[in-house]
Amino acid sequence: MIVAALSLAPLAASADEDTASRHLRYAAMARIDGRPAPVTIDVVIGATEAEKVAHVEIAERRNDEEFARESVAIDREGTISGADESLTFEEETLLNLIALQFENMTGVDPGDHWDRTGDLHEGSHHTHYVVRKTQGPLIDLAVSRTIDFPDGARGSWHGNVTYDSAAVVPRTIAITGSIVDHADGSRRPLQLSARLVGDSFHP
């Protein structure tokens, strides 16, 4: 298995932060309340235990609004646990794709596919991955997900992800979908495009 227990310096280290960590920064465009909005997401990945990253910190900035920095754990099933507050759709999606680090992605071929099911901070997901093509360490994945929420609402999205099997991180993300409210049947669109713009593993 590829397990990314990588020791790198975080972007904004403080005295009490674990210095043996890896920092990623993603520049993104998300559809928020029907309108596109620029988003920056910072992820600090700490030590890995077996098939679980015990400590991940994630923070999102949307326009001039900065969301609380959350500390979570993720595992190979894409299960996210430990957040104090609800994660944004962008944060939750990115964390699940970062969990691909637990897959053996170096030997995949076009047509290979697999499924993962796990808990989110609110609800659960079922995600299907299909390898579309490979070019060196870069793997083009078609990804689709359904999301079930405790109140009966249901979401789904699909799109493409370029995954770097050498650096064990997603490099680009382009997905669209929607969430349907259980109470009134209203539909909320989901859209996210993101690219990796900073990685302390490759300064």
Question: What's 131's domain CATH number?
Answer: 2.40.128
Specify if 14 maps to a domain.
no
Q: How confident is the model at residue 203 (pLDDT cuts 50, 70, 90)?
A: low
Give the tens place of pLDDT for each residue, 19-42. 568 999 999 999 866 788 899 999
Q: Which residue has the higher pLDDT, 138 or 79?
A: 138
Specify if 16 maps to a domain.
no
| Residues facing 61 on adjacent strands | 40, 66
Tokens of 91: 């944060």
Element (H, E) at 28: strand 22-32
Specify if 180 maps to a domain.
yes
Specify if 1 maps to a domain.
no
Specify if 11 maps to a domain.
no
Domain of 114 in residue numbering reads as: 22-199
Q: What is the four-CA torsion angle of 18, 22, 23, 29, rounded to 10 degrees?
A: -130
Tokens of 104: 């053996």
Specify if 12 maps to a domain.
no
Specify if 172 maps to a domain.
yes
pLDDT of 87 reads: 84
**97: helix, strand or coil:** helix
Model pTM score: 0.83
Kindly state the average pLDDT of the residues 74-101.
85
Specify if 13 maps to a domain.
no
Tokens of 143: 């990804």
Give the tens place of pLDDT for each residue, 133-176. 999 999 999 999 999 988 888 999 999 999 999 999 999 999 99
Q: How many domains does the chain have?
A: 1
pLDDT of 188 reads: 85
pLDDT of 184 reads: 81
Residue 73 pLDDT > 90: no
Least trusted range by pLDDT, from 5-9, 100-104, 107-111, 191-195:
5-9
Q: Rounded to whole angstroms, what are the CA distances from 191 to 79, 135, 144, 151, 175?
A: 21, 26, 13, 22, 6
